[in-house]
Chains A and B, each alone.
Chain A
């Protein structure tokens, strides 16, 4: 039996383009250590996952979200 697909949280929020400046949105898609979360956990579509990945990399460069969290801070 096929597992029920989670609904895309971005589609529900009516977001068409993921903005790298929206650090509060992006922080939902990184884990406790600062890594990108897999889309199977967050339920976003493949298209949105690609946008999120790019946006997070830009946001990290601009020190809006950390590269790593936890031990060294």
Chain B
């Protein structure tokens, strides 16, 4: 598909348009909730994001395999819009340096319906293409 928002893994194309990013953090589950919120505020302060940063807390859950000898982690997911992508390296550096972040993943947010929202006509066309995919 040619939707530019789906080009995950590739560096974002420099453009003036804002892009929505999604970051998943796995914190050390031994950390207090207050400390986690404080760290999130510090990381997000580096972003100077356009608009609000929405944070979804999953809380503590078991890891599927051990990371840094930990069995559990505290999951938090943040979504933010950036107009200026130059702030990302500094932000990512802060994440890397913080030992209480067991793991993180920053990716372009993939929307349920693509962006901008598709018209009915476009949806119908896509549906036709989907069906074509299967022909052998």
CB neighbours of B112 from chain A (8 A): 16-17
Q: How large is the interface on B (under 10, 10 to 19, 20 to 34, 35 or more residues)?
A: 20 to 34
State whether A62 and B113 are in contact (beta carbons under 8 Å apart), knowing that A45-B134, A54-B8 are contacts in the complex: no
In the complex, are the beta carbons of B133 and A65 less than 8 A apart? no
Q: How far is the CB of B102 from chain A (nearest CB, A)?
A: 8
Main secondary structure of the interface of B (DSSP, over half): strand
Partner of A45, one of B77, B113, B133: B133
Total interface residues in chain A, CB < 8 Å: 18
Main secondary structure of the interface of A (DSSP, over half): loop
Binding site for A on B (CB under 8 A): 8, 24, 26, 63-65, 67, 73, 77, 103, 105, 107, 110-114, 130, 133-134
List 4 extra interface pairs beyond A16-B113, A58-B107, CB under 8 A: A45-B133, A63-B63, A63-B103, A64-B64
